[in-house]
Amino acid sequence: MIAMSLKKSSGRLDMKPLALLDVRLPDALQAMLENECNVIMLDDVDSWGPRASEVKALFSYQHVPIDADILAKLPNVVTVSNFGAGYDHIDVAACLARGIPVGNTPGVVADATADVAIGLALASTRNIVDGHIRYHNEPKFDPNWWGESFSTCTLGIVGLGNIGRKVAARAKGFGTKTLYWGRKRVPKGFEAELCVEYCASLITLLQQSDVVVLCVAATAETSGLMSTQEFKAMKRTATLVNVARGKIVNTDALVSALKNGEIAKAALDVTEPEPLPRGHPLLAMHNVVLSPHLGTAERGTRHRMMTMAVSNLQAGLAKENMPHPVPETTPISVSLPSNNKQTEAEQSSRLRLVVGNKAYSSWSLRAWLVCRVACGKEGFEEKVVPLAAPGSTGQKDVLMQYSPSGKVPALTDKHMNGLIIWDSLAIAEYVAELYPQECLWPSDARARALARSAVCEIHSGHESLKAELPTNCRMPPLDIEVGQHAAFRKPGVASDVGRICKLLETCLNCKWREEGDFLFGRFGIVDAMFAPTALAFLTFKPLLSLSARQYCNTIRNMPEMQEWINSAMSETWHIDAYENR
């Protein structure tokens, strides 16, 4: 049972759990937290020490370390909520050892932080801050005091994650030549959209860049990433901008590089240590611009972050899955059940996809294919519900237990308090948001718009074709001449086939597509939506162009598709209406 603090409110007892907060929040945000918990400051040990066993939550606002020693003093803590994306100040391993979930606020910080990165780059290269100080000290105009151009510079971004991409997008407006380096190269479509070039090594990027912006996450691998050798590789006229974490930079090496003229300037929103102690060399340097960790300090962003942090807190206190957990504390991959018996892996999985007979359910195939490619074989639980023949009145009642629409497919996200998503396209979109690294939509905006148009057309159109050529994954190619099946003479079928063929050619010949065998290069949602049609075309043999026929074979030969077909072959359910074609 959760220990509660009690107080009178509106004539009733108001029970709230006890939480520790590292640094007081602004009044509006503090009120949001106090609406959920009774709050004691972390440094007020005299107040919470005698009540340590009552403390249920830790709320981190200003990145004061939360380590194993603190956790050891709080035997009944059930949740840690972090205000911010970075959580390197939290000992996640210690939390994991205690089964304590940790939440953060990813994604929402990117725009505000990228704004600061560009602002620091401009302030440093164009001497805006130093000019402000000089003018206040002695108001005069010096025509011989010049800065460096940002608009024509070579910009190097270290880490092209959420923040790095936002920086690159803003840099496009300045016409910079933008390079990037990171753990892995992003898809070429993203590179084209952001106008960035990949560098195979950090040193290569540093050697070529006039302004270097650090956007990488703080990890064991990136700690001290910028040190003596890296500064020696930079241009002597270069500026270093850091909006990531102070520990990414070896501070002593930076001070030395600035003093010795190995680099020209630095503009830092974060430092190590933070804050800098009085008398630190960086505080006295005119070629250093310092801002006090303002990356996310923007009213709208901070309120969105607080909403996310409070949602994590609420879920943790309720022993429910956090909506925004840190990756280490949210393993979502589980073993895919091979039979109908519920296993421990099945019980602990995050996503459950309910599908119909694999032999017949084309809409189930579309959603399953997206999940299978994005999540992997062990990344979701699968439940097959046998479908009745067309016109069955009892089938909807059976399916209503899985979906409010009474239809398949339906996806349940257990980490979202049992959220149910129905309709194959809605499921595909949801999975794309859960797994952005899989790039299920083309990275080029123009190709993405075309792909979405094609998906909507195949999702809502071509009813004549769907009615006359229903999916049956067990059917081999028919022993007939191309284009001679009787269905092609039915009203609307031939025109549907012609339109689909034209649509395939439009996608395959799109000048914005990436290299690859699928419609826009790599597999995406658009391919999943076309997959049942591709199988039907191979079975019923309409007249296709060579490229369209090759694409249909590409779909059928996918390992994931073969897995689906093999399962369909092993099914014992049989519906005459779908077999006698």
Buried b / exposed e over 10-41, threshold 16 CB at 10 Å, is eeeeeebbbbbbbeebeeebeeebeebbbbbe
Q: Which residues contact 75 (CB under 8 A, 6 or more apart)?
A: 52, 53
> Which amino acid, residue 299?
R
- The span from the CA of 250 to the CA of 456, in Å, is 51
Catalytic sites, residue numbers: 245, 274, 293
- The span from the CA of 71 to the CA of 520, in Å, is 50
Instruction: Supply the angle between the helices 445-460 and 493-508 in degrees, to the nearest 10.
Output: 170
Q: Are 154 and 208 in contact (CB under 8 A)?
A: yes
Q: Is the dihedral of CA 562, 567, 570, 573 positive or negative?
A: negative
Long-range contacts of 122-130 (CB under 8 A, 24+ apart): 122/150, 123/267, 123/289, 124/239, 124/241, 124/265, 124/266, 124/267, 124/289, 125/149, 125/150, 125/153, 125/210, 125/211, 125/239, 125/265, 126/150, 129/289, 130/286, 130/287, 130/289
DSSP string, 376-420: -TTSSEEEE-PPPPTT-SSHHHHHTTT-TTS-S-EEEEGGGTSEE
Q: What share of the chain is helix, strand, coil (3-state, %, to 5)?
A: 45, 15, 40
> Which amino acid, residue 354?
V
Q: Are 421 and 430 in contact (CB under 8 A)?
A: yes
In 89-143, which residue ranges form alpha helices assigned H by DSSP?
A: 92-98, 110-125, 128-137
For residue 409, say if its preceding peptide bond is cis, omega within 30 degrees of 0.
yes
Q: Is 504 exposed, middle or buried (0-12, 13-18, 19+ CB in 10 A)?
A: buried
Sequence-ordered strand ranges (E) for 221-344: 239-242, 265-268, 288-290
For residue 542, say if its preceding peptide bond is cis, omega within 30 degrees of 0.
no
Pairing of strands 419-422, 410-413: antiparallel
H or E segment to which residue 7 belongs: strand 4-9
- The span from the CA of 250 to the CA of 180, in Å, is 21
- The span from the CA of 111 to the CA of 107, in Å, is 9
- The span from the CA of 195 to the CA of 215, in Å, is 17
